[in-house]
Amino acid sequence: MPFDPDYCEHRCPICTRARKGNRLAKFLQMIEMVFTFGGCPWGRARQRKYGVRPSELSPEQETEQAEETD
Contact at 8 Å (CB) between 58 and 52?
yes
Q: Indicate if the pLDDT at residue 1 is higher than 70.
A: no
Q: Choose between 69 and 38: higher pLDDT.
A: 38
Mean pLDDT of 1-21: 89
- As to burial, measured by CB atoms within 10 angstroms (0-12 exposed, 13-18 middle, 19+ buried), residue 54 is buried
Domain-wise residue ranges, the chain: 5-69
What is the predicted pLDDT for the residue at 7? Answer: 92
Mean pLDDT of 33-60: 89
Could you read off the pLDDT of 15-32 as tens digits, one per residue? Answer: 999 999 999 999 999 999
